[in-house]
Chains A and B, each alone.
Chain A
Amino acid sequence: MSRDVLDQLVQRFDDAVLATHDQFGDETALITADVWHEAAVFLRDDLVCSMDHFIDLTAVDFADRRTPRFEVVLHLRSSERLHRIRLKAPVGLGPGGENPQVDSLVDVWKGANWFERECYDMFGVEFVGHPDLRRILMYEQFEGHPLRKDYDAHRTQPLVPYREGYEKLQPFGLPQGMPFGRQTHDRWKTAVAGRPEDAGATNLLGFEED
């Protein structure tokens, strides 16, 4: 991570940079969502920054702990200068975090394509200008966005409904006389002796009668 990049960014975008920090040694800039695309192009093309290596794009849902509710997080690296930066933008203004929107970066780095699709799929953040914004990990019919904090972790949405009134089959099929479990000799004898049709047939395995 690099201090220089942060300085460049603050110099260029001034008021749009809401905060910066370098916790755990990761230089981070929080910028407003409306300069998201502009800042990305600047980071890629500026000679000091030259962030040509796209690393990661994701979001964080802060639920009711923060307004705006979501933060879009971008990690970048420069293959030439070997430094990194994390760029964040708050999205989803309003109480419930409705309509989180941010510009798409697909035209800046191709790799953003799938990462933005994943972010849309998981958090419902809409990337304006994305060429093909559809679900990537979940299926089309899926309702809601699973990584939002208000999506119940136990909720299931099977495409084929679960069968009802159906007992799970035993691992070795229906019991058919000869059980698979380890049996003691005594149990074998009582089981056979219990059946009237088998009376007197206990000597099948050569056990002696008591």
Chain B
Amino acid sequence: MEPLDVELEDGELELPTDPMLLNMGPSHPAMHGTVRIVVELSGETINKADVQIGYLHRGFEKMCERGTWSQVFPYVDRLNYASPLLNNVAFALAVEKMLGVTVPERCQHYRVILGELARICDHLVCSGAMAMELGAFTPFLYFVKARDLIWDIFEEETGARLTNSFGRVGGMAHPPTANFKEMVRTTLPAVLDLVRDGENLVLENRIFLDRLEDVSVMSRADALALGWTGVVLRSTGCNYDVRKHHPYLTYDQYDFDVPIGQRGDNYDRFSCRQHEMKQSARIIDQALEMMADDGPVNVDDPRIVLPPKDEVYNTIEGTIQHFKIVMEGIKVPAGECYSYTEAGNGELGFYMVSDGSGTPWRIRIRAPSFASTAGLGQLITGAMIPDVVPTFGSLNMIGGECDH
């Protein structure tokens, strides 16, 4: 086509070729409001990327050092706020490891069911947000509807939809409600239907696949050296799931598969999550079968578990016991311990140092998405600006966890 009204000398048409610095975030729709990426561009290709985090830093580890061990629970809710129950259970398990107690089997199954439901929520949010950022809004609505169904169960069980604070050292805050099993049994198929409906909309969509397949490939060795865990590591072909390799709770009793990717690209990360939800549903089905309908949920140890309110108000022993746990905190033996579980994003570890008092000396949170976000710079270097969006989405960076 001929230019209509411009007559220029050849020399004047030259475009600038210097690299351009571009700021993405923290107030950028694709950055979830918590990350800033400074990219150096030549054309639309990223030469260099500097990922900057910390916008959601709340001094979490410092806060933990100021209360009792039990007072940490509301804080861990706000780590990975897409799946607070998994964090609750992870922290409870860490303290229990130091105390040397094991919760009754009924509670273990209960924790597994709630945890796997939370994992489904976590993956739903991640996959939904990722699809939405690529322009597919409908799957997001399906997934959020499915998440809402699960949140209804959480509301019934824990009293809260988002920040449940339901875990306790040595058990759970409440035993399962009378119709818990029935609720989960009726909800789960509905959730899976919604998941299927949602993913069918995108998994055969050419545009969606083009933006995911072979984009931002990570090798297995690099992923390991970067400290990746969870879905992002498994997508590279490395078979590592804490639930399989270092079973905790009752995970060794269930029959489930661990989905493994092959290429380590965005598509593998997306589809591993989708498959994992179905495996979680399998685990829940089995755990529901195995969970006893009655029996104790909390360990029988007056030094750890709060007495029933009835006893607190009517007996002197109960009052003293309650007072000591609330005011002085649970006495955790002195020493150091690292406890890890499979959270929504990967290995959520707690490295804890106790001096034997009721207050933690140091609680270190090994946040899985901190490690995976550290790999973001490598993934997007050499890619194009539009690739940043699905890549960032597929890592499932959760600000609360990553920024501590």
Q: Which residues of A contact B62 (CB under 8 A)?
A: 146-147, 151, 153
B61, B338, B349, B355, most chain A CB atoms within 10 A? B338
Residue of B nearest to A135 (CB): B54
Q: Which residues of B contact A109 (CB under 8 A)?
A: 225-227
Residue of A nearest to B238 (CB): A79
| With contact pairs A53-B224, A137-B57 given, residues A26 and B338 touching in the complex (Cβ less than 8 Å) | yes
A28 to B364, CA, bound (A): 16
B227 smallest CB distance to A (angstroms)? 4
Q: Which residues of A contact B229 (CB under 8 A)?
A: 55
A118 smallest CB distance to B (angstroms)? 8
Residue of A nearest to B50 (CB): A132
Residue of A nearest to B245 (CB): A82
A189 contacts the other chain (CB 8 A): no
A86 to B336, CA, bound (A): 11
A13 contacts the other chain (CB 8 A): no
Of residues 4 to 28 in A, which have CB atoms within 8 Å of B's CB atoms? 23-24, 26, 28
Contact of A114 among B65, B66, B240, B370 (CB under 8 A): B370
| With contact pairs A52-B225, A54-B225, A56-B227 given, residues A24 and B98 touching in the complex (Cβ less than 8 Å) | yes
A110 to B371, CA, bound (A): 10
The proximity string for A residues 108-150 relative to B, scoring 1 for CB distances below 8 Å and 0 otherwise, is 0111011100100010000000000001111100000011000
A60 contacts the other chain (CB 8 A): yes
Q: Which residues of B contact A153 (CB under 8 A)?
A: 59, 62-63, 65-66
B53 contacts the other chain (CB 8 A): yes
A3 contacts the other chain (CB 8 A): no
Q: Which residues of B contact A113 (CB under 8 A)?
A: 374
A101 contacts the other chain (CB 8 A): no
Of residues 343 to 396 in B, which have CB atoms within 8 Å of A's CB atoms? 347, 349, 351, 353, 355, 361-362, 364, 366, 370-371, 373-375, 378
Residue of B nearest to A58 (CB): B364
A107 to B370, CA, bound (A): 19
Q: Which residues of A contact B136 (CB under 8 A)?
A: none
CB–CB A139/B371 < 8 A: no
B221 contacts the other chain (CB 8 A): yes
B337 contacts the other chain (CB 8 A): yes
CB–CB A75/B371 < 8 A: no
CB–CB B227/A24 < 8 A: no
B97 contacts the other chain (CB 8 A): yes
CB–CB A138/B54 < 8 A: yes
CB–CB B222/A110 < 8 A: yes
CB–CB B362/A60 < 8 A: yes
CB–CB B335/A137 < 8 A: no
Q: Which residues of B contact A73 (CB under 8 A)?
A: 351, 364
Q: Which residues of B contact A86 (CB under 8 A)?
A: 338
Q: Is the interface of B mostly helix, strand, loop or mixed?
A: mixed
CB–CB A136/B53 < 8 A: yes
Contact of B224 among A26, A56, A79, A82 (CB under 8 A): A79
A23 to B338, CA, bound (A): 10
Q: Which residues of B contact A75 (CB under 8 A)?
A: 338, 349, 351, 366
B210 smallest CB distance to A (angstroms)? 29
CB–CB A111/B337 < 8 A: no
A49 to B314, CA, bound (A): 58
Q: Which residues of A contact B54 (CB under 8 A)?
A: 135-139
Contact of B227 among A54, A65, A146 (CB under 8 A): A54
A160 to B374, CA, bound (A): 29
A98 to B130, CA, bound (A): 46
Q: Which residues of B contact A114 (CB under 8 A)?
A: 370-371, 373-374
A179 smallest CB distance to B (angstroms)? 31
The proximity string for B residues 283-301 relative to A, scoring 1 for CB distances below 8 Å and 0 otherwise, is 0000000000000000000
A76 to B353, CA, bound (A): 18
A84 smallest CB distance to B (angstroms)? 8
B342 contacts the other chain (CB 8 A): no
B40 contacts the other chain (CB 8 A): no
CB–CB A61/B362 < 8 A: yes
Contact of A137 among B53, B66, B364, B378 (CB under 8 A): B53
Q: Which residues of B contact A110 (CB under 8 A)?
A: 222, 225-226, 378
Residue of A nearest to B51 (CB): A114
B374 smallest CB distance to A (angstroms)? 4
What are 21 A-B contacts defined by CB distance under 8 Å? A23-B335, A24-B97, A24-B335, A26-B337, A26-B338, A52-B225, A54-B224, A54-B226, A55-B347, A56-B349, A58-B364, A60-B353, A60-B364, A61-B362, A75-B366, A110-B378, A111-B371, A114-B371, A115-B374, A139-B54, A146-B62
- Name the 10 nearest CB pairs between A and B, nearest first: A111-B227, A137-B54, A114-B374, A111-B226, A54-B227, A56-B366, A137-B57, A24-B337, A109-B225, A53-B224
Residues of chain A at the chain B interface (Cβ within 8 Å): 23-24, 26, 28, 52-56, 58, 60-61, 65, 73, 75, 79, 82, 86, 109-111, 113-115, 118, 122, 135-139, 146-147, 151, 153
Residues of chain B at the chain A interface (Cβ within 8 Å): 52-54, 57, 59, 61-63, 65-66, 97-98, 221-222, 224-229, 238, 240, 245-246, 335-338, 347, 349, 351, 353, 355, 361-362, 364, 366, 370-371, 373-375, 378, 403-404
Q: A52-B221, A113-B374, A137-B403 known; 12 other A-B pairs, CB under 8 Å?
A: A53-B227, A56-B338, A56-B349, A58-B351, A73-B351, A109-B225, A110-B222, A111-B374, A115-B374, A138-B54, A147-B62, A153-B62
